Amino acid sequence: MNYQSILFSADKGVATITLNRPDKLNSFTDEMHGELRDAFKTIAKDETIRCVLITGAGRGFCAGQDLSHLASEDARAEQDLGETLDKNYNRLIRTIRSLPKPVVCAVNGVAAGAGANLALACDIVLAACSASFIQAFCKIGLIPDAGGTWTLPRLVGSARALALAMLGDKISAEEAHDWGMIWKTFDDETLMPEAQGMALHLATQPTQALALIKRAFNASTSNTLDQQLDLERDLQTIAGRTSDYHEGVDAFLNKRPAEFSGK
Amino acid sequence: MPVQNQPEYTDLIVTTPAPHVLQVTLDRPKAYNALCSNLLHELADVLEKATDDPSIRAVVLTGGPIVFAAGADIKEMADHTATTVKEDSRAGYWAVVRNFSKPIIAAVNGFCLGGGNELAMHADIIIAGHNAEFGQPEINLGIIPGAGGTQRLLRTVGKSRAMQMILADERITAQEAQQYGLVSEVVPAELCVERAVKLATRIASKPPLAVQRAKQSILQAYELPLADGLRFERENFCALFDTEDRLEGIAAFTEKRKPHFKGK
């Protein structure tokens, strides 16, 4: 596929999206959003794709929205930030959260603003030791978007989330890991091989069950325990009808490794 | 003759997924289940036959996994004038659905728009898949809902929300639809039809005449002032005392056994 702002490839069940504007720290433009939407359309349609890996090219992961076209006051007055969110960021975050396949994010460098929140919207977040996370929004008079005000307090608790959002402090990958904001950190040179290994593993797992796990966790944030128990019942009914469930039980009983098809 | 042995329908699939339960599946996938005159005609035909078939006690109405029904058939509508549309036979088909005496449960997955939403609202109970989306987009075509949309939506979701949906074509999700009382349950899309069939099966195990009188009484609440509605309910209540099923229900209760209802 001929993209300008991202790289996209699919191999062995893993679709890899690389944000690819390295000279601009992979900051978001309308073009990049359009290409991401297109790539996710392919991912949603292609049954052979069973895991997604997102990372950035060059030294940064993603610096958030590209502000370079906002030099003049007129340009700033003209833009409707709500519309930009509706059109670009909200669709992207909703797509990732509702995608019935696991999404792994390898944060290779600085993740700022919407870039940080894109990473945190993914299912499993890995980071290089040199990576950092910044809720930069308050520094230009804005609020965390791309799901930040929802994701952050759930990951790190209100006290830390509010301070991060109001101070705009940069936190290291290690600190993010200590706070439970991300899953694991790796040395810079081992991040990509580790992330790719995890993505390849996930692409051999019971994809439907993983999708149902994601659905249950997504719903849990607004459900009562009673509602969630009902939902677990319903989703488990569905999981129990997949051929991967039968394969999993059969493999367990026969003490052999399971071969999941994702169906 | 049981309904499932009737001549093939072209726009519907009719099955009997459980004893006493008829499932009608809108089946025009290429046209997003648009409600063309033939489909409505077939639906009216199925329901008329189900009315006369004592073995049918509840109906499940559903569409496809991605579209329940996306609206009326716009191509058919294109050539109508104010006069011809008034004489259209469609109103008669809708009346059959409206007057059907046995319970209808709609299982809605995906898009449920325009005439599709109006059809779902003709059902007595709506179960929605989590991916369902409800709306009345007629305004975009320079027309308005014509099969009860302005009336039923108002009574269900309230004035402000109904106005928003009909004047601005704002759609609502399954979750919102449940909040507003348009649907009674939201379940995973994969289980939507199954849940509706289970519910229909449960209803079908109840005494049919009582079920029908109860449905009638509830629907009369839309037509009558409360005092008249209460009188109507009372008449229905009394009428059931002359049925065999009432005697059987009470006998089974006192004898601590399962009742066997005959619909008499």
A237 and B187 in contact by Cβ < 8 A? Answer: no
A258 touches chain B (CB under 8 A): no
- For B151-210, write each residue's pLDDT tens digit: 999 999 999 999 999 999 999 999 999 999 999 999 999 999 999 999 999 999 999 999
A86 touches chain B (CB under 8 A): no
Catalytic-residue membership of B176? no
B187 touches chain A (CB under 8 A): yes
- For A121-135, write each residue's pLDDT tens digit: 999 999 999 999 999
CB-CB neighbours of A9 under 10 Å: 12
Cα distances from B148 to residues A150, B61, B122, B144, in angstroms, run 39, 18, 9, 10
Q: Which residues of B touch A234 (CB under 8 A)?
A: 187-188, 191
In chain B, % of residues over pLDDT 70: 97
Q: Which residues of B touch A215 (CB under 8 A)?
A: 188
| Mean pLDDT of the B100-124 span | 97
Q: What is the pLDDT of residue B227?
A: 96
CA torsion angle for A126, A129, A130, A135 (degrees, to 10)?
50
B170 touches chain A (CB under 8 A): no
pTM of the entire structure? 0.87
Q: Which residue has the higher pLDDT, B164 or A70?
A: B164
Q: What is the pLDDT of residue A1?
A: 66
What whole-number distance in Å separates Cα of residue A183 and Cα of residue A195? 11
The residue ranges of DSSP E strands in chain A, in sequence order, are 6-11, 14-19, 51-56, 103-107, 110-112, 124-128, 132-134, 170-172, 184-186
Is the Cβ–Cβ distance between B77 and B30 less than 8 Å? no
| Mean pLDDT of the B133-157 span | 95
Mutate to test the interface with A, among B191, B194, B197, B198 (most CBs of A within 10 A): B191
**Band (B7; pLDDT cuts 50, 70, 90):** low
Catalytic-residue membership of B233? no
Catalytic-residue membership of B200? no
Q: What mean pLDDT, rounded, does chain B reach? A: 93
**Band (B1; pLDDT cuts 50, 70, 90):** very low
**Band (B86; pLDDT cuts 50, 70, 90):** confident
| Mean pLDDT of the A51-61 span | 98
Cα distances from B152 to residues B118, B123, B206, in angstroms, run 8, 11, 27
**Band (A65; pLDDT cuts 50, 70, 90):** very high
Is the Cβ–Cβ distance between B21 and B62 less than 8 Å? no
Catalytic-residue membership of B48? no
Q: What mean pLDDT, rounded, does chain A reach? A: 96
Is the Cβ–Cβ distance between A169 and A163 less than 8 Å? yes
Identify which of A78, A66, A81 has the alpha carbon closest to the alpha carbon of residue A19: A66
In chain A, % of residues over pLDDT 70: 100
B29 touches chain A (CB under 8 A): no
CB contact set of A135 (below 8 Å; sequence gap of 6+): A113, A116, A144, A148, A152, A164, A165, A168
DSSP 8-class letter at B191 = G
